[in-house]
Amino acid sequence: MNNSPKDWPEPIVRVQSLSESGLPVIPDRYIKPPDQRPSFSPATQASHVNIPLIDLGDLNGDHEKRTAITEQIFQASTEWGFFQVVNHGVCPQLMDRARQAWYGFFHQPMEVKQAYANSPKTYEGYGSRLGLEKGAILDWGDYYYLHYLPSSLKDQNKWPALPSDLRAVIDEYSAQVVKFCGALMKILSQNLGLGDEALQDAFGGENIGACLRVNFYPKCPQPELTLGLSSHSDPGGLTVLLADENVAGLQVRKNDMWTTVKPAPHAFIVNIGDQIQVLSNAKYKSVEHRVIVNSDRERISLAFFYNPKSDLLIEPAKELVTPETPALYPAMTFDQYRLYIRTRGPRGKSQLGESQSSPR
Ligand code: OGA
Ligand code: NI
């Protein structure tokens, strides 16, 4: 991207440093307007409501079992845009090691982490903000962002060298998650009445993009005033999130309420991104979500993004465009699309032309 900005509009402050300094109050920069605070409406859903949990163990079983599972995926993708999966094929021990490796990175001394400080040009590396608006209200979280695919963008020298097993673990983890996403793409494609490979082909076949954003949400002395990550929908194709099993934080919007996700052991939280909403002509929903923080536990999450090849035009699949269901979105490349969110920061779903149902 040639027109990307080169640097941040103001000095970067690490949220982890703020948290560790033991301040009893958060700086004004992190205080959200009242209508965006966790306690404001839309209210938080009763705690027994959760996103669907789908066991993929029998996906290769007989026809009937497979159909039951693919139907659950269809329901979840059209109604929630979010679901959890277990028995997804990614090795549970590898999931633990991946989370552990990143925990180890974020607990390295600050100067070790600063060596990877990112810039808005590519966002790769250690970061503490999204968006370039000077004076913007910031989120209570730091992150690390890296490319896995295409291989031309994968540069392990830009991945943390410490802990010493991180690069190998993340390489293997990413390979397994990509494989899982490929299987899911087939199901999502079939469920739209398209051929098995239609969605994957629209993404560029083997030339897809894949990147990892590891979120680190430090303890916050005033969690009721801020968010770890502001409400947004994911701009890419699919997101596979490995959340902290012990600390909840992710909230998903549904029927104008926020549902707090309770992660199941060794589950992935999967969500539909904007590009699949576009390709499906809004049959599948890319749903707004956000992260709340708390005062006694830090939280870590690994968000793996499976994206279309960045210079392909993405538009509603031809088979899904009829006189009754006209195309809802113009064709756009993912490069064009992503620039919007990278410049303006997370802002609900405004980039898909959907108005906000709560003011922000
Ligand atoms: C993201 C995201 C959720 C979380 O990184 O896009 O929504 O729980 N993360 O950290
Ligand atoms: Ni997200």
pLDDT in tens, 186-223: 999 999 999 999 999 999 999 999 999 999 999 999 99
User: Which helix or strand (DSSP H or E) is residue 103 part of?
Assistant: helix 92-106
The three-class DSSP label of residue 29 is helix
- Kindly state if the Cβ of 291 falls inside 6 Å of ligand 1: yes
CATH number of the domain where residue 148 is located? 2.60.120.330
Answer whether residue 143 is part of any domain. yes
Nearest CA to ligand 1 atom 5: 303
**For 9-51, how does the pLDDT look when each residue is reduced to its tens digit (9 = 90+)?**
999 999 999 999 999 999 999 999 999 999 875 666 666 678 9
- Kindly state if the Cβ of 139 falls inside 6 Å of ligand 1: no
Handedness of CA 312, 317, 321, 326 (dihedral sign): negative
Nearest CA to ligand 1 atom 1: 303
**For 254-282, how does the pLDDT look when each residue is reduced to its tens digit (9 = 90+)?**
988 899 999 999 999 999 999 999 999 99
Answer whether residue 5 is part of any domain. no
Nearest CA to ligand 1 atom 3: 250
Our count of domains for the chain comes to 1
- Kindly state if the Cβ of 215 falls inside 6 Å of ligand 1: yes
Instruction: State in Å, rounded, how far the first CA of the chain is from the last one.
Output: 29
Mean pLDDT of 293-321: 97
Q: Which atom of ligand 1 is nearest to the CA of 301?
A: 10
> What does the alpha-carbon distance between residue 344 and residue 337 come to, in Å, rounded to a whole number?
12
> What does the alpha-carbon distance between residue 56 and residue 252 come to, in Å, rounded to a whole number?
22
Res. 1: pLDDT tops 70: no
Q: Which atom of ligand 1 is nearest to the CA of 217?
A: 10
Q: Which atom of ligand 1 is nearest to the CA of 213?
A: 5
What crossing angle do the helices spanning 63-79 and 166-191 adopt, rounded to 10°?
A: 100
Q: Which domain holds residue 119?
A: 15-355
Answer whether residue 8 is part of any domain. no
Task: Output the pTM of the full model.
Answer: 0.95
**For 340-357, how does the pLDDT look when each residue is reduced to its tens digit (9 = 90+)?**
767 766 667 766 766 443
Nearest CA to ligand 1 atom 8: 250
Answer whether residue 4 is part of any domain. no
- Kindly state if the Cβ of 271 falls inside 6 Å of ligand 1: no
- Kindly state if the Cβ of 290 falls inside 6 Å of ligand 1: no
The three-class DSSP label of residue 242 is strand
The three-class DSSP label of residue 257 is strand
pLDDT for 72: 98
**For 79-109, how does the pLDDT look when each residue is reduced to its tens digit (9 = 90+)?**
999 999 999 999 999 999 999 999 999 999 9
Locus of tokens 């009721």: 224
Centre a 10 Å sphere on the Cβ of residue 182 and count the other Cβ atoms it contains.
15
- Kindly state if the Cβ of 242 falls inside 6 Å of ligand 1: no
Answer whether residue 10 is part of any domain. no
Tell which one of 144, 239, 290 to mutate to probe ligand 1, the residue whose CB is within 8 A of the most ligand atoms: 239
CB 211 within 8 A of CB 307: yes
Compute the mean pLDDT over every residue in the chain, rounded to the nearest whole number.
93
142 - beta bridge partners? Answer: 216
CB 338 within 8 A of CB 235: yes
User: Which helix or strand (DSSP H or E) is residue 83 part of?
Assistant: strand 82-86
Answer whether residue 9 is part of any domain. no
Answer whether residue 208 is part of any domain. yes
Answer whether residue 1 is part of any domain. no
Nearest CA to ligand 1 atom 2: 303
- Kindly state if the Cβ of 253 falls inside 6 Å of ligand 1: no
CB 286 within 8 A of CB 233: yes
Q: Give how far Cα 306 sits from Cα of 188, 204, 208, Å.
A: 14, 12, 7
Residue 348 carries which DSSP code?
B
